Structure 1
Amino acid sequence: MRLNLFVVCIAMAAGAASAQTSLPKTPPAPAATASALETREIRAQLAPRRFTTLAAEIGAKINRLPVPEGGAFKAGQVLIQFDCSLQQAQLSKAKAALAGADKTWQANKRLADLNSIGKVELDISEAEVLKAQAEVAANNAVLGKCSVAAPFGGRIAEQKVREQQYVQPGQALLEIIDDSALELEFIVPSKWLAWLKVGSGFQVKIDETGKTYPAKVQRIAARVDPVSQSVKLNAMIDGRFPELISGMSGQVLMVPAERASK
C-alpha cells in the first residue's frame, strides 16, 4: 500500500510539472514594452522641410537645364527651358486668324449699320472673333509652360533628364528640395508627453560628421500608438550648419525629465 501511494504521488507531481511547462507564455506587459523603448537608442534622419518633383506639362525638347545636379537656386529662378519654336509658330498663326476675323467683323458691323447684311451673318462673324481669341489665349498658355521656375529656393536633388532630350507631358524632370531648414522625425515613449512640449530643446549626434547639434521639437503627432505606447515627434535643427545635408542620420540625445532631475 505504501509503495502504491508513493507511485501515485510521483505521477501527480509529474503531471503538475507537465501542465506548468505546457502553459502558453503571456506577452510582455505594455509597461515592459515602454521600458524597452526608453532604454533603446533613439534614431532620426535629416529630411528637407519641403521637397517636390517637377514634371513636364507639354511635350517638347529640353533646351537648357541651367542649374546642375546638387546646385542651389532661388525661388522663381528658371530651372528648365524647353524648345517651343513650334508652339510660337502656332501662336503667330492664331494671332493672324484673330486679325482676319476681327477685320471681317468690323466690316460686317458697318454693313449692318447700312442694313446691307443680316443679323445672322453679323453674329457669326463675331463668334469667329471670339473663337480666334480663345485660340490665342490657349497658345499663350502653352507658351507659358515652356519654362519651369522654382516654386521655392533650394537645391537640385536629382536630375532625371538631360539637355536636348524630348520629354512627354507628365514626365518627371527634376527632384528639388528646400534645405534651408532640416527636419528630424523619431519616436519616443508616450509618457514623455508629461514633460515634452513643442519648443523643447535637445541634442542630436550625426553619424556622418561625428558632431552634436541643437534641435527643437516643432510638432507632436495627433495620436499615441496604444500597442507600443509611443508617439512620433517632428523636430528641426536649431541653426544653419553647411555640413549637414538631407539623408544624414544620427542619435537623438534626449534625457527624460525624471532622469535629468537625478
Structure 2
Amino acid sequence: MRAALYALAVILPVTAWAQAPQSDIRAQLTPRDYTTLAAEIGAKVERIAVREGERFTKGQALVAFDCSIQKAQLSEARASLSAADKTLAVNKRLLELQTIGKLENDVSMAEADKARAKEVASAAVVAKCQITAPFDGRVVEQKVRSQQFVQPGQALLDILDDSELELDFVVPSKWLVWLKPGHGFQVVIDETAKTYPVKMTRVGARIDPVSQTVKVTGTIGGRFPELSAGMSGKVLLAPPP
C-alpha cells in the first residue's frame, strides 16, 4: 500500500506538468536586416524611386540628387588632369634632351599628382549623388520629398529586408540548460491567428541579473507573404519534463 502511494506521488507531478498550459511568452517579428539611408552630400533631391511599402532589389537606385555643380567640378578636375599629364609628358621629353632641369620635371610631376587627386575626390562626390539599395527589401518610411534640399547626414529612407523574418522573445535564463540553437518550436501570430514553425538561432550575450531572463532569437521557417515585421504573437514553448 505504501509503495503504491509513493509511486502515485512520483507520477502525479509529471502528469500534472504534461497537462499544464505552456508558458505565456510574447514575441515580436523583426527583419533580418534594416537600416536608415542618409544623405552623404548637401544637395536637392531630384527623384525618389520608391515609396513607403514598395519593394526594391539590391543595387536599385532609390534616391537621386541634383548634382549639376558637382558634375561640373568633376569635368573641371578632369580637364586640369589632362593638361597636367600633357605638361608632364613634354617635360619628361625635354629632360631627356637636357633642355630643362630635373626640378622643373619634378614640379610638373607633382602638379599632375595633385590634379589626379582632385579628379578622384570629385568623382567620389559625384558617386554619392545616387543612393542604391544595399539589399532586397521594402521601404518602411520616406523621410524626405522630391525637390527638398537635404544636408549631409540627414535621414532619407528607413528600409528593411523581410525575406527572412526573425522572432525575438525573452525566456528564463535557467532554460538555457535545454534551449539551444537549432531547437524547433511554434508561434501563434495574433494578426493572422495562424501557427508558424520556428527554429531557434541564437541566444543573447547577457542575462538580466534582476529578472533572470535572457533574450533569444528564432527564425521563421519558410516564406509566408502574410507576415510583416512588427507583428507579435505567443510562443508555444515550455521546458521538458
- TM-score clears 0.5: yes
Tell me the equivalent position of 1:168. Answer: 151
* Paired residue secondary structure (2:234): strand
Task: Give the Cα separation in 2 of the matches to 1:113 and 1:129.
Answer: 19
Tell me the equivalent position of 2:74. Answer: 91
Aligned residue type for 2:82:
A
CA deviation vs aligned residue, 1:9-47 (integer Å, no higher than 9, x gap): xxxxxxxxxxxxxxxxxxxxxxxxxxxxx9762111111
Deviation beyond 6 Å, 4+ runs, structure 1? none
Matches within 5 A, 1:59-78: 59-78=42-61
Q: How far is 1:257 from its partner? A: 1.3
Task: Give the Cα separation in 2 of the matches to 1:227 and 1:114.
Answer: 84
Matched, 1:247 2:239: no
The match for 1:137 among 102, 112, 120 is 120
Q: How far is 1:226 from its partner? A: 4.2
Tell me the equivalent position of 2:34. Answer: 51
* Paired residue secondary structure (2:200): strand
Tell me the equivalent position of 2:194. Answer: 211
Task: Give the Cα separation in 2 of the matches to 1:187 and 1:171.
Answer: 34
The match for 1:180 among 160, 163, 177 is 163
* Paired residue secondary structure (1:99): helix
TM-score normalised to the size of structure 2? 0.85
Of structures 1 and 2, the larger Rg is shown by 1
Report the aligned-residue RMSD: 1.8
Task: Give the Cα separation in 2 of the matches to 1:229 and 1:105.
Answer: 72
Aligned residue type for 1:112:
L
Matched, 1:231 2:214: yes
* Paired residue secondary structure (1:103): helix
Instruction: Call closer, same or farther: CA 1:114–1:226 in 2, change over 3 Å.
Output: closer
5+ residue gaps in structure 1? 1-37
* Paired residue secondary structure (1:257): coil
TM-score normalised to the size of structure 1? 0.79
* Paired residue secondary structure (2:140): strand
Task: Give the Cα separation in 2 of the matches to 1:190 and 1:79.
Answer: 43
Matches within 5 A, 1:96-175: 96-175=79-158
Aligned residue type for 2:53:
G
